[in-house]
Every structure is written in structure tokens, then in C-alpha cells.
């Protein structure tokens, strides 16, 4: 008799705790299918940096291709020191290399943090797509904090206080991300200080996701860790400001008081990813050390993003949409509610219908607001203004005298596809 059992069957719909494939990947696949059909598609869905990795950082990666040994689980000491120096330089906060944890992307570190810390997850609506699913996977409670369009979707200290006051001693982890994905908004110092005061009052552990910090359009990023150093972990990495998303390197910097969390994360890291890719870590030392070439790279990246962001912002507003003014990164979060009546006639009732119809009728791919935690029926969506040749644009921007803005001739020359996407979207809104 054959006692061999067949392996357990797998649900081909592959889902984990009710989660299925991310909407970001789904819209990308749909866009690719349209491209295969010969359609012109404007990929404003996926939030990938359009800029190349700075040459000096690439050179360092080449020079270290031979590095083959496993590195310490917490990270290459030279890199941990460079990251600590980076935050000290930028924020004036006294980190040392021992306070830093390096991982294969900050997303992985966030997941491990949620795994080891038992508190509720607090996130503002809207928030980046992965915070909530990660909490769901590890079985944490998710508490959405409300924001309003009138206040440009920024979290207000009063809202945080209103939430925490009900159960002041409850352990909580809050993720604050700015410049923000998806809203493009950021915080000024006064607002950060007020939020920090509430976080301290309720002893919230604050994960400050500053992965777009260097892409503040005016180079004026300030970390909330300045105002709540004892409770804030700063998250950063190479993916956005250094254009190296595919290299997979993220960093967490911990205050000494949260060293126990860093150690707990180290235990999970040692049993999961072991250590981050060695050549990438060696190259990242160069990126975090900075220098004139990186300063210039960032200066021109910001200049380009500021001009494009403003261009889209002004045109969408003129077309009748509602949206916060972009202050950093490369996203806009747009409220299309003023078009609800017209869209209803076309069968659009929620943000997913909206994005599907827009993609079908114009080739413009953007992501529905629902995946960022907005109410499903709200007609909102995120647009990433990154579908252009970043290497060419950096060369062009360096030729425009400092202090002069990148005018419409420049935009037409370097971002024709983005301008066309904006035309398509605005015209569609007019006639839809
Ligand atoms: C707000 C935000 N945080 C974190 C990440 C994760 O970045 P990485 O895992 O590449 O470091 C992203 C990537 O899109 C992001 O937009």
C-alpha cells in the first residue's frame, strides 16, 4: 500500500491573511499588457526614482564586486558609522555606528520592527501602501488617523491626541512619513514639534520614515527626531534620494533608549536575511559620506522634481482637481470628487473604477486612493511624476544658471511624455 501523501494543495489565488498582490504591481502589469497591445502608456503608477545612481557610488560598487563574505548582521561597521555621521550632519543628532541597523531595504526593516514590537500600529490616512499589509501579516491592530483635504492631508497633533487619550497607556508604534508618499506634502519644524510633544506624552514609539528626506524640494528637510530623540527611529536608505531602489539597502538609526528594539530586530535579522549584500554595503558608504558630487546630484534632482511637481500641481488645480501642494519626493495625491457627477454617468463609483477608466481611455496609469487607506468610494488617486529620462534631465538642469527656474521650454524638451500625460489627464477631465 502506498502511504505517501500528496503535498497540501495551494490556493492559487495566493493570499496571506486576506491580502493579495499589491495594487502597485497590478496596475504595472495592466500597463504592460496595454503596451504589448501597442498602446501608449504613461507610467505614473510605480514610484521609482527616475535618476541614475551617482557615478561615484556606482564606481564604488564596481570596485567592491569581489566582496563576498557575509557581513555582520547589524551592518558593515564603516557603513553604520557613515549613516550615523549622515544623520549627525543633517540633523545634529548624536548617533554612533552602534545605533544603526542596515537591512535589504527599509521595507524589510519595517516588517521586522512590526514583528518584534507588540503595540498597535498608528498611521495617518493616506499612507504608503505597505505599512498596513505588514501589520496585517504579523497580526497587529491598525489604527488609521484621520486627515483632511482642507489641511492638505497632514496629520494634526490634535488628531493624534484625540486617538491616544482614550487609552493613554496602550503601547503604540506610529509611522510618520515625510516628504510623504502619497501626498507629496511635508512638515515644517513647528508642526513636527507639536506632533513630537503628543508622541512623548503617550510614549509612542515613532518610526520616522524619511526615505524622501533628501528630496525635500527646497533641501529643507528636518527630522522629528530633533524634537523627540528618545522615542524616534529614523528610517532611510538608498532607494529614493540615491536612485538605487533595486540595490535594496535600507537603514534604521535608533536612539540609545530603544537599543533593546534594535537588538530584538537583530535577532530576527540573523534568522532571516543574515546580512545585507556586501558589495552594496561597501558602495553605500560612499553615498552616505556625501561630498560635492552628491550635493550637486541632489541639488539638480530637487530642482527638477520641484519644477515638474509645480507644473502638474498648477495644471491639475486649474482643471478643477483638489490636491496638496508638492513639497518633496515625486508624488501628487489628487481628489477628483469635483468630477463625481460626470464620472457617475460613465460607471465610476470609486477610486479603482476611476483609475481603470483613466488607464483605458487615456493610457495614464495612476494608483487608486483606496490602496493608501482612503475610503474606497472617495475619488482620489496618487500620481508619480517619474516617467522621464532622469540622467538626461540632470545634465540639462546643470546647464540652467542657478537661481533660474526650469521654464516651459525646458519641461517640453526634457519631459515630453510627462507633459503629454498631463495634457491627456486634464483634457479627459474636461470632457469626461
Ligand atoms: C514611503 C516609503 N517608505 C519606504 C519605502 C521602501 O523603500 P525601500 O524598501 O526600497 O528602502 C518606500 C518605497 O516605495 C516608500 O515609498
Q: Is the CB of 177 under 6 A from ligand 1?
A: yes
Could you report the per-residue pLDDT of 126-153, keeping only the tens digit for each?
999 999 999 999 999 999 999 999 999 9
Mean pLDDT is lowest, of 79-83, 258-262, 268-272, 397-401, for 397-401
107 lines ligand 1 (CB under 6 A): yes
Residue 331, classed as helix, strand or coil, is strand
Cβ of 106 below 6 Å from ligand 1: yes
The finding on whether 250 has its CB within 6 A of some atom of ligand 1 is yes
User: Measured from the CB, is residue 239 less than 6 Å from ligand 1?
Assistant: yes
26 CA → ligand 1 middle, Å: 18
Q: Which residues are 103's β-sheet partners?
A: 250
With a 6 A CB cut-off, is 237 part of the ligand 1 pocket?
yes
**Above 60 in pLDDT, residue 9?**
no
pLDDT of residue 12: 46
Give the global pTM: 0.95
Whether 89 has a pLDDT exceeding 80, the answer reads yes
Q: DSSP H helical segments within 64-207, as ranges?
A: 77-91, 106-116, 131-138, 157-165, 189-201
Residue 240 CA to ligand 1 center (angstroms) comes to 8
Q: What atom in ligand 1 is closest to the CA of residue 238?
A: 11
Euclidean distance between CA atoms 233 and 209, whole angstroms: 8
| CB 47 near ligand 1, within 6 Å | yes
234 C-alpha to ligand 1 centroid (Å)? 13
How many angstroms is it from 294 CA to the middle of ligand 1? Answer: 20
φ and ψ at residue 380, rounded to 5 degrees: -125, 160
Percentage of the chain modeled with pLDDT above 90: 88
Mean pLDDT of the chain: 94
**CA-closest residue to ligand 1 atom 16:** 181
What pLDDT is attached to residue 30?
Answer: 85
**C-beta of 104 in contact with ligand 1 (< 6 A):** no
Burial class, 9, CB count within 10 angstroms (exposed 0-12 / middle 13-18 / buried 19+): exposed
pLDDT band at 181 (very low <50, low <70, confident <90, very high): very high
Query: What percentage of residues in the chain have a pLDDT greater than 70?
Result: 95
Q: Which tens digits make up the pLDDT trace of 303-325?
A: 999 999 999 999 999 999 999 99
DSSP type of residue 350 = S
Query: Counting atoms of ligand 1 from 1, which one is nearest the CA of 250?
Result: 11
Q: What is the mean pLDDT of residues 171-182?
A: 98
For 167, 237, 299, 304, 305, the CA distances from 309, given in Å and listed in that order, are 40, 23, 15, 8, 6
Atom of ligand 1 nearest to the CA of 237: 11
Residue 47 Cα: closest atom of ligand 1: 14
When pLDDT is averaged across residues 157-171 and rounded to a whole number, the result is: 97
Instruction: Kindly state if the Cβ of 209 falls inside 6 Å of ligand 1.
Output: yes
Average pLDDT over residues 59-70: 98
134 lines ligand 1 (CB under 6 A): no
Is the Cβ atom of 54 under 6 angstroms away from ligand 1?
Answer: no
* pLDDT on residue 18: 67
Residue 283 has pLDDT above 60, yes or no: yes
Residue 330 alpha carbon to ligand 1 centre in Å: 13
Mean pLDDT of 258-285: 98
**Residue to mutate (ligand 1; options 214, 239, 330; most atoms within 8 A of CB):** 239
Is the minimum distance from the CB of 97 to ligand 1 under 6 angstroms?
no
Banded pLDDT at 31 (limits 50, 70, 90)? confident
75's torsion region: left (phi>0), alpha (psi -120 to 50) or beta?
Answer: left
Distance 372 CA to ligand 1 centre (A): 14
Amino acid at each position: 500500500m502506498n502511504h505517501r501523501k500528496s503535498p497540501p494543495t495551494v490556493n492559487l489565488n495566493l493570499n496571506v491573511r486576506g491580502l493579495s498582490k499589491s495594487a502597485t504591481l497590478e496596475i504595472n502589469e495592466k500597463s504592460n499588457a496595454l503596451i504589448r497591445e501597442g498602446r501608449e502608456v504613461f507610467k505614473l503608477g510605480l514610484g521609482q526614482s527616475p535618476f541614475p545612481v551617482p557615478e561615484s557610488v556606482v564606481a564604488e560598487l564596481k570596485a567592491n564586486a569581489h566582496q563576498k563574505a557575509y557581513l555582520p548582521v547589524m551592518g558593515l561597521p564603516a557603513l553604520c558609522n557613515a549613516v550615523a555621521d549622515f544623520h549627525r550632519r543633517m540633523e545634529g543628532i548624536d548617533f554612533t555606528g552602534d545605533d544603526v541597523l542596515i537591512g535589504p531595504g527599509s521595507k524589510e526593516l519595517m516588517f521586522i520592527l512590526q514583528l518584534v514590537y507588540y503595540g498597535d500600529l498608528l498611521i495617518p490616512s493616506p499612507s504608503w501602501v505597505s505599512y498596513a499589509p505588514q501589520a496585517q501579516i504579523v497580526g497587529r491592530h491598525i489604527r488609521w488617523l484621520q486627515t483632511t483635504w482642507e489641511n492638505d492631508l497632514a496629520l494634526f497633533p490634535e488628531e493624534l491626541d484625540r486617538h491616544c487619550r482614550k487609552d493613554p497607556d496602550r503601547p503604540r508604534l506610529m509611522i510618520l512619513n515625510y516628504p510623504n508618499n502619497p501626498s507629496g506634502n511635508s512638515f515644517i519644524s513647528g508642526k513636527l514639534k507639536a506632533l513630537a510633544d503628543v508622541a512623548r506624552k503617550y510614549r509612542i514609539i515613532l518610526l520616522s520614515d524619511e526615505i524622501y528626506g533628501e528630496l525635500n524640494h527646497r533641501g529643507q528637510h528636518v527630522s522629528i527626531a530633533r524634537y523627540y530623540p528618545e522615542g524616534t527611529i529614523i528610517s532611510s536608505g538608498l532607494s529614493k534620494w540615491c536612485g538605487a531602489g533595486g540595490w535594496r539597502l535600507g537603514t534604521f538609526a535608533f536612539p540609545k533608549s530603544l537599543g533593546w528594539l534594535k537588538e530584538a530586530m537583530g535577532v530576527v535579522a540573523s534568522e532571516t536575511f543574515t546580512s545585507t549584500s556586501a558589495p552594496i554595503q561597501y558602495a553605500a558608504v560612499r553615498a552616505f559620506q556625501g561630498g560635492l558630487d552628491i550635493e550637486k546630484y541632489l541639488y539638480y534632482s530637487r530642482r527638477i522634481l520641484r519644477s515638474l511637481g509645480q507644473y502638474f500641481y498648477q495644471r491639475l488645480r486649474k482643471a478643477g482637481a483638489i490636491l496638496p501642494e508638492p513639497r518633496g519626493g515625486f508624488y501628487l495625491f489628487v481628489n477628483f470628487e469635483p468630477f463625481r457627477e460626470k464620472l457617475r454617468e460613465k460607471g465610476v463609483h470609486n477610486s479603482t473604477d476611476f483609475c481603470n477608466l483613466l488607464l483605458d481611455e487615456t493610457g495614464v496609469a495612476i494608483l487608486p486612493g483606496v490602496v493608501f487607506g482612503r475610503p474606497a468610494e472617495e475619488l482620489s488617486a496618487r500620481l508619480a511624476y517619474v516617467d522621464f529620462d532622469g540622467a538626461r534631465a540632470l545634465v540639462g538642469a546643470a546647464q540652467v544658471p542657478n537661481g533660474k527656474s526650469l521654464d516651459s521650454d525646458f519641461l517640453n524638451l526634457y519631459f515630453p511624455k510627462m507633459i503629454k500625460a498631463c495634457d491627456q489627464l486634464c483634457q479627459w477631465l474636461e470632457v469626461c
